[in-house]
Structure 1
Amino acid sequence: METVLDNYPAFLLVFMRVSAFFVTLPIFSYRNIPNTHKIGFAFILAWIMFISLDPPEILIDGQFFMLLIKEALFGLLIGFSAYFILAAIQIAGSFIDFQMGFAIANVIDPQTGAQSPLIGQFLYTFALLFMLTTNAHYLLLDGVFYSYQFVPIDQLYLPLGEGDVIEFIVESFNSMFIIAFQMSIPVVGSLFLVDIALGIVARTVPQLNIFVVGLPLKIGVSFIMLILVMGALFMLMRELFETMTYTMRGLMQLFGRGG
């Protein structure tokens, strides 16, 4: 503890980065975790990281406040990069809900406080449980710790305007939508075939009310397809976790060039 008191400005920088990580990091940033627990966990983790990093001496001056802003911005961006990759599951659920007819019936996500599609929230809950089962949340904490190998405490700015960073972010968004499309295509494709069949029936048997028959039929087909492809969805979720860690690491490497 004496080391923290001797170099407390550096500890404040470490604490700022870890706290900013926990604002946007999946699982650790959710509303059903009390803020006091988040702050306490961030403080303990920052203290453990501080005594193992051997940071340089930092003085409180004008440059210190610039470093403080840089640490907060870096933590928010890296945590958000992991969050938007994981949001591919909810995007896949919104694709499925649109075809099922559930797009109008959104629910409030208790973890983020935002509206979420029904199937998207269903798959997202499974993804979080799968993440905890496979210990993928430890990789997020490892990313917080190993970020100091790429962006040290005394690095003054982040190269946000460079072309490599912007290109990497665009490619990450692209991979997120590709995985969301792969997760939703079995159900969406089968519902497209159901729509074609219902259209043929509506033309051949005009006495049949397609609107009454079509909605429960599409819901039933959707749940049957979800049961059949659930194993493949978990494989894609595992690939999504790997993409999430690679995205965090790649963004840290690009930000580390600014030193």
Structure 2
Amino acid sequence: MVDLIPAFPAFLLVFVRVTSFFLMMPLFSYRSIPTVAKIGLGFFMALTMIFTMDIPSFEIDQTYYLLIIKEALVGLMIGFIAYLILSAIQIAGGFIDFQMGFAIANVIDPQTGAQSPLMGQYLYTIGLFFLLTVNGHHLMLDGVFYSYQFIPLDQPWISFGNENMIEYVIKAFNSMFVIAFQMSIPVVGSLFMVDIALGIVARTVPQLNVFVVGLPLKIGVSFLVLIAVMSIMMLVISQLFETMLITMRGLMDLIGGA
């Protein structure tokens, strides 16, 4: 049984890391979840984790304040890398919107408050439902819990100058665009073929107004292709979740000095 009074400094460090995760992590960071609920979830999760960990003793001094800053940075970095990988869905939607002609009709994402493409928001919503269906949010919470096996509570620093960490983040950023391209290439490739066909028609039948015919034709073709490849797209999204968890673990390895 953990004595709560001596363990309070360690509890505060755990609480800072958990709430920092929730500030950036997909699904938990959205505006639709009240701030009080996020803080309360972080509080009770930190309280639960304290009873299952080997707690080192801390004194509240200058080093302790540095540990608080370090814990906040750890939570923000790992939550950000998870959000970065999952953003591939919205980028894929942006590629599709640009070819469909929907790029001029961005909508406000109520979860983040930022503008997002129509198809990106549609695919992202489906992706979040799929994440909840396969209990991906449980895996993300497991990542918060097991992060202390990689990054100890009393580790005093993060080696930001480590070139391996910088290279790892750049590779994660690159993989986001690669996955987005893989998701969008069926629709974008089909619309490219439609553009070629419309160009041939415009040269052979000059009387036909291609700009009037082209837009509804491209929208119809893109929806048909989306319906046809939606199952494959869900497979790519499931692999995206796996990539997200592997990337989180790899970054925790590097932060922990492994």
- TM-score bracket relative to the smaller structure: over 0.9
2:119 aligned partner, one-letter code: I
The answer to whether the 8 Å contact 1:3/1:51 transfers is no
| Residue 72 of structure 1: aligned partner | 72
Deviations 1:46-68 (A, max 9, x none): 00011111210011000000000
Conservation of the 8 A alpha-carbon contact between 1:67 and 1:154:
yes
Please name the residue that 1:4 is paired with: 4
SS at match of 1:30: coil
The CA distance in 2 between the partners of 1:31 and 1:82, in whole Å, is: 18
Partner of 2:40: 40
Q: Which amino acid aligns with 2:225?
A: M
Letter in 2 for 1:243: T
Give the TM-score normalised by the residue count of structure 1. Answer: 0.98
Query: Is the 8 Å Cα contact of residues 15 and 46 (structure 1) preserved in structure 2?
Result: yes
Give the SS at the match of 1:3. Answer: coil
Q: Are the aligned partners of 2:49 and 2:145 in contact in 1 as well (CA < 8 Å)?
A: yes
SS in 2 for 1:220: helix
Code of the residue aligned with 1:130 in structure 2: it is F
Contact kept? 1:27, 1:128, Cα under 8 Å: yes
| CA–CA separation in structure 1 for the residues paired with 2:107 and 2:161 | 37
Structure 1 CA distance for aligned equivalents of residues 90 and 151 of structure 2: 31
SS of aligned partner of 1:78: helix
User: Helix, strand or coil for the counterpart of 2:192?
Assistant: helix
The alpha-carbon deviation at position 4 of structure 1 amounts to 2.2
> Which contiguous aligned blocks of 4+ residues in structure 1 show a shift greater than 3 angstroms?
none
Classify the secondary structure of the residue corresponding to 1:194: helix
- Equivalent residue of 2:110, what SS? coil
- Uncovered stretches (5+) of structure 2, i.e. residues with no partner: none
Count matched residues. Answer: 258
Residue 15 of structure 2 is matched in structure 1 by 15
Amino acid at match of 1:178: V
Q: CA deviation at 1:140?
A: 0.4
Query: Partner residue of 1:257?
Result: 257
Partner of 2:57: 57
How far apart, CA to CA, are the structure 2 residues paired with 1:136 and 1:227?
Answer: 24
Partner residue in 1 for 2:115: 115
Distance in 2, Cα, partners of 1:38 & 1:175: 30
Alignment of 1:222 with 2:222, yes or no, is: yes
Q: Is the counterpart of residue 97 in structure 1 residue 97 in structure 2?
A: yes
Residue by residue over 1:58-101, the C-alpha shift from the partner in whole angstroms, topping out at 9 and shown as x without a partner, is: 11000000000000011000000000100000000000000000
CA distance in 1 between counterparts of 2:151 and 2:26 reads 21
In 1: Cα distance, 2:257 partner to 2:183 partner: 35
CA distance in 2, matches of 1:132, 1:215: 35
Cα displacement (A) at 1:2: 6.1
2:136 corresponds in structure 1 to 136
Structure 1 stretches lacking a partner, 5+ long:
none
Percent identity, please. 65
User: Considering only aligned residues, what root-mean-square deviation do their CA atoms show, in Å?
Assistant: 1.0
SS at match of 1:128: helix
Residues of 1 paired with 2:176 and 2:211: CA distance? Answer: 34
**1:6 Cα offset (Å):** 2.0
Q: Is residue 6–residue 57 contact of structure 2 (8 Å, CA) maintained in 1?
A: no
- Report the AA paired with residue 117 of structure 1: P
Separation in structure 2 between the aligned mates of residue 181 and residue 168 of structure 1, nearest angstrom: 20
- C-alpha deviation, 1:5, in angstroms: 1.8
3-state SS, counterpart of residue 229 of structure 1:
helix
Q: Where does 1:110-259 land on structure 2 (aligned, <5 Å)?
A: 110-257=110-257
For residues 129-160 of structure 1, the C-alpha deviation after alignment (integer angstroms, 9 at most, x for no partner) is 00000001111001100000011111001011
SS of the residue corresponding to residue 236 of structure 1 reads helix
Q: Give 1:178 shift.
A: 1.0
Asked if the contact 2:89–2:180 (Cα under 8 Å) also holds between the matched residues in 1, the reply is yes
Amino acid at match of 1:91: I
The answer on whether the counterparts of 2:2 and 2:51 sit within 8 Å (CA) in structure 1 is no
Q: Which amino acid aligns with 1:125?
A: T
Q: Is the 8 A contact 2:102 2:118 kept in 1?
A: yes
